[in-house]
Structure 1
Amino acid sequence: MAWRCSGRTNAELISNLYKAQLITAERVRASMTSVDRAHYAPAAAYEDSPQPIGYSATISAPHMHASACQSLLLFMPENKGAKVLDIGSGSGYLTHVMANLVCGSEGKGEGKVVGIDHIPQLTELALSNMRKSEEGRRLLDNGRVEFVTGDGRKGYAEGGPYDAIHVGAAAAEIHDKLIDQLRAPGRMFIPVEDEDGRGSMFGSQYIWVVDKDADGKVTRKRDMGVRYVLLTDAPK
């Protein structure tokens, strides 16, 4: 179904995702509409499929970005000072979308999103991509978005704790260090390899939704099957 959501323009792509009920919240629809994917995936910006961005990395399909935003939305209130960590930020697209969700369409509300990637060139790419739009430049210049280079499997404790954590590549496990950096309450959206799929480029993977309640109790729920590139060391 998702592949049918491709459009000729950014607005048409997001409208098709909405019509297919892959986007159901108006805030998600508005935030994704305002970020032109052509700034982040120039080769085939409006196709609902993953696209290569170099360095063995990809920008995920739009329907997966929509799913992540929908899942994390309750933990990304607008203008409430929410903190979000985007692990494997890659092109910077979803970092930008989530910044719209927590800071509002004009990028002036309270909140912050940190994008972390282990490849320095992708950190620079994300910064360059965001600066292609006035909205993106504002979010960077006012400190609402920050990109750092580091091992996303360890999170980024300096910026936490986080109300929401998104992981954009398949992890070998649900890393305890990431759970530790969740606020109570908080939620993490993370693709994880099943043991029977390890050792292949695309094994058996599932999205896991990890919740930490106000008392610090952690629950894990396995969701849909997916195919992500692996969360690994930077290529040498």
Structure 2
Amino acid sequence: MFQQSSGDSNESLVENMCNSNLITHPLVESAFKVDRSQYAPREPYKDSPQLLSHQATISAPHMHAKAVNSLLPFLLPKDEIVGVKGRPRRVLDIGSGSGFLVHVFAELVGETGVVVGVDHIEELRNLGETNMRKSDEGIELLNSGRVHFRLGDGRKGWSGQSSTDADKEDGWDAIHVGAGAIRLHDELVRQLRSPGRLFIPVAEEESWFSDQYIWTVDKDEKGNVTKTKHYSAKYVWLMGAPEGPLGASVEDSSERL
């Protein structure tokens, strides 16, 4: 369906996504000028997922665009949206893999924002940072402290696991999960700021063979939580060492959507 968005260069890929209304905001268009060839090992401009290593993938461009569109109100600096300065944006990318979406998020949050990518496999955590260092812009983002890559269990989000300045503040304006979860984990919702939004693919049933659907979980200014089911999707499963995919037992405190 989305193969028509494929291009023979990053410029043509972005142009085709704009023409297909996958990208409609000029700031998103600008952010997607991050060259996928620095993050995808092969066919970077084809609108389909590409295999990395350890059974991980870099998602198709159209899925990245959908995720960014959904999270955009919680990515842009607040003065971009309402004309009132607010605290710097903080964004968490779980299953950061290639690092591409971390870079895109960093382009959107502004000079004061922080983006943290988390992966549970050290080689993938290192891959994201290595890929980002392929460009001068990526090097600057890393050296400035606006982007960090961490090793950890994404099912637990990222909170209190580091003493670095980027991780000292509490909560995230936006959390993106780039892998399918069998259930919604309470800790991810707890780590959302008020307001904040979580974008996550979740299994319809607690089974690795179940269909997945994209859900957004919103927390408003008063801390009220609203969950919305959107469209079907197919992601690799969210993993956690050492238990394996979604190793926590069904009896844990994580809740069904």
Normalising by structure 2, we get a TM-score of 0.86
**Which of these residues, 147, 170, 192, is aligned with residue 182 of structure 1?**
192
Q: Which has the higher strand share?
A: 1
- Equivalents in 2 of 1:199, 1:112: separation in Å? 33
**Which of these residues, 149, 152, 156, is aligned with residue 151 of structure 2?**
149
CA contact (8 A) 2:41 2:52 kept: no
What is the match of residue 78 of structure 1? 77
**Which of these residues, 140, 143, 156, is aligned with residue 142 of structure 2?**
140
Query: How many residues are matched?
Result: 227
- Equivalents in 2 of 1:97, 1:234: separation in Å? 27
What is the match of residue 56 of structure 1? 55
Structure 2 unmatched runs, 5+: 79-85, 161-166, 245-257
Which amino acid in the other structure matches residue 48 of structure 1?
D
- Equivalents in 1 of 2:41, 2:240: separation in Å? 26
What is the match of residue 199 of structure 1? 208
What is the match of residue 10 of structure 2? 10
**Partner secondary structure for residue 66 of structure 1:** helix
**Partner secondary structure for residue 157 of structure 1:** coil
| Cα deviation 1:157-182 (Å, max 9, x = unaligned) | 13330000000000011111000000
CA RMSD, Structure 1 to Structure 2 (Å): 1.4
Normalising by structure 1, we get a TM-score of 0.93
**Partner secondary structure for residue 41 of structure 1:** coil
Which amino acid in the other structure matches residue 173 of structure 1?
R
**Partner secondary structure for residue 21 of structure 2:** coil
**Partner secondary structure for residue 43 of structure 2:** coil
- Equivalents in 1 of 2:21, 2:140: separation in Å? 31
**Partner secondary structure for residue 195 of structure 1:** coil
Matched, 1:209 2:216: yes
Matched, 1:117 2:119: yes
What is the match of residue 131 of structure 2? 129
- Equivalents in 1 of 2:239, 2:150: separation in Å? 16
| Cα deviation 1:63-122 (Å, max 9, x = unaligned) | 01000110000011238510000000000000000000002xxxxx11000000000000
- Equivalents in 1 of 2:145, 2:128: separation in Å? 15
- Equivalents in 1 of 2:179, 2:77: separation in Å? 26
What is the match of residue 46 of structure 2? 47
**Which of these residues, 76, 95, 110, is aligned with residue 88 of structure 1?**
95
* 1:24 CA displacement: 1.2
CA contact (8 A) 2:92 2:117 kept: yes
Structure 1 unmatched runs, 5+: 104-108
- Equivalents in 1 of 2:29, 2:179: separation in Å? 23
| Cα deviation 1:19-67 (Å, max 9, x = unaligned) | 100111111111011x100000031100000000111100000001000
**Partner secondary structure for residue 54 of structure 1:** coil
The runs of at least 4 consecutive aligned structure 1 residues that moved more than 3 Å come to none
Q: Which moved more, 1:176-185 or 1:155-164?
A: 155-164
* 1:199 CA displacement: 3.0
| Cα deviation 1:126-160 (Å, max 9, x = unaligned) | 11000000000000000000000000000001333
* 1:234 CA displacement: 4.4
- Equivalents in 2 of 1:44, 1:118: separation in Å? 25
**Which of these residues, 76, 100, 105, is aligned with residue 107 of structure 2?**
100
